Structure formats: structure tokens, C-alpha cells
């Protein structure tokens, strides 16, 4: 009997320190793609080498093993037992909150990344739903995240999930170019 009716074994769970190397690989790859989208060109090999999975791995290992607060969380998306994506949430930095009018977001999705070879398989949506569940348990009413301007698939994903631009932008230099990020926000009804 074939497995035509069998659902894939996909899930989201809290990240473990042993997940750090895979999270580092995914983050290095997706960050490079986002920067290239923001620059609207491929990075030269020297700049591309700066997206070293080992450096990302060390940062994620620390974030998972010793989070700065109980409100900081890292989650992983699994396809069977393989880590194929991750998300990280944290309280919004006070400097960002004080710069916003009205009801500012209490929480931020710092990262929500899926291995490009596993894209469009529902992992991003599952990660986002898990983030929302955790943030509701933390009594957050609004959430924000950042997306590189020019990363059109990410903008479409956020928009379809109920996020809207917040009216904030930040930039950084990459080689001779500038990459801009746009803040997005959503209410957690």
C-alpha cells in the first residue's frame, strides 16, 4: 500500500541547544537571500562569505541555552525529525516602544525562517501560529516583526497573516549598498 493518504509528520517544538547548527545554517542562508532581495542583486563572494553558519550557530546556541528572560523563546519547525525552520520571539525593546504612538507592540518576532528547500510547505504558517500561541500565553496584545524591503514573498506572507506596515524603517550598509527593513505589526485577537 502506498502512502498517498498519509500526512507528513510536521510539527513545531521549543528549540534545543543541539538544534543550533541547523538553525545557524538556515539563518545564514535566509539572511543572505533577504539581503540580496534588498539589494536587488547577488552578493559578491567576499560579502557572501560573511554569512557564515558557524557565527549564526554560536548566537543561536546562546539564545537557546541561556535566554535573556522567560519571555525570550526559540521554536523549531520539524519535518519528521529534521529541523527545517525556526522562529524567535522576545519583548519589544523599550527604545522601539517609546518611539511609537498609540498601542505599541509588546512582543517582537525576531526571526521566522524556513530552509529555502522546504519553503511553501506550511512550515512558516505553523511557526507563526506557534509564536502567536506563546505570545497570547504571555498576554501580549500586539506583535511586530521586520522584513527587508524588496523581500516580496515575505511581505506577501506577512500581509496574508494579518500584518500591516507599522511606519518604521531601519537601514544598514552591506558593501556599497543599503538594505532597508520595514516594521510590520498585528493585533493578537
pLDDT in tens, 137-170: 999 989 999 999 999 999 999 999 999 999 899 9
Residue 1 lies in a domain: no
* Residue 62 clears pLDDT 90, i.e. is over it: yes
The alpha helices in 84-122, defined as continuous H runs, are 94-98
CATH code, 45 = 3.40.630.30
Number of domains in the chain: 1
Q: Choose between 99 and 105: higher pLDDT.
A: 105
Domain that holds residue 105: 10-187
By C-alpha distance, which of 59, 78, 91, 106 is closest to 14? 78
Determine contact, residues 85/10, Cβ cutoff 8 Å: no
pTM of the model: 0.89
Residue 2 lies in a domain: no
Average confidence (pLDDT) over 117-124 = 81
DSSP secondary structure, 128-182, as one string:
HHHHHHHHHHTT--EEEEEEETT-HHHHHHHHHTT-EEEEEEEEEEETTEEEEEE
- Characterize the bridge pairing of strands 73-79 and 82-91: antiparallel
Calculate the average pLDDT of the chain.
89
Residue 17 lies in a domain: yes
Collect all residues with Cβ–Cβ distance below 8 Å to 87 and sequence separation of at least 6.
74, 75, 77, 109, 111, 112, 113, 127, 128, 130, 131
Average confidence (pLDDT) over 73-100 = 87
Residue 125 lies in a domain: yes
Residue 55 lies in a domain: yes
Q: At what angle do helices 53-65 and 20-39 cross, to 10 degrees?
A: 120
Q: What is the pLDDT of residue 8?
A: 55
Residue 3 lies in a domain: no
Residue 27 lies in a domain: yes
* Residue 5 clears pLDDT 70, i.e. is over it: no
Residue 139 lies in a domain: yes
By C-alpha distance, which of 120, 81, 116, 103 is closest to 166? 103
Amino acid at each position: 500500500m502506498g502512502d498517498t493518504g498519509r500526512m507528513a509528520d510536521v510539527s513545531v517544538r521549543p528549540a534545543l541547544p543541539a538544534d543550533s547548527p541547523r538553525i545557524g545554517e538556515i539563518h545564514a542562508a535566509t539572511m543572505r537571500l533577504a539581503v540580496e532581495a534588498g539589494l536587488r542583486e547577488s552578493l559578491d563572494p567576499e560579502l557572501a562569505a560573511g554569512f557564515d553558519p558557524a557565527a549564526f550557530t554560536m548566537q543561536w546556541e546562546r539564545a537557546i541555552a541561556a535566554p535573556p528572560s522567560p519571555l525570550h523563546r526559540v521554536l523549531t519547525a520539524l519535518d519528521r525529525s529534521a529541523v527545517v525552520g525556526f522562529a524567535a520571539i522576545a519583548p519589544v525593546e523599550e527604545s522601539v516602544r517609546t518611539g511609537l504612538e498609540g498601542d505599541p507592540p509588546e512582543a517582537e518576532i525576531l526571526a521566522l525562517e524556513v530552509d529555502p528547500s522546504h519553503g511553501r510547505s506550511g512550515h512558516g504558517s505553523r511557526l507563526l501560529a506557534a509564536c502567536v500561541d506563546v505570545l497570547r500565553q504571555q498576554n501580549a496584545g500586539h506583535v511586530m516583526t521586520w522584513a527587508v524591503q524588496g523581500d516580496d514573498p515575505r511581505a506577501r506572507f506577512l500581509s496574508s497573516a494579518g500584518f500591516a506596515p507599522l511606519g518604521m524603517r531601519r537601514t544598514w550598509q552591506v558593501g556599497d549598498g543599503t538594505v532597508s527593513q520595514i516594521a510590520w505589526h498585528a493585533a493578537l485577537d
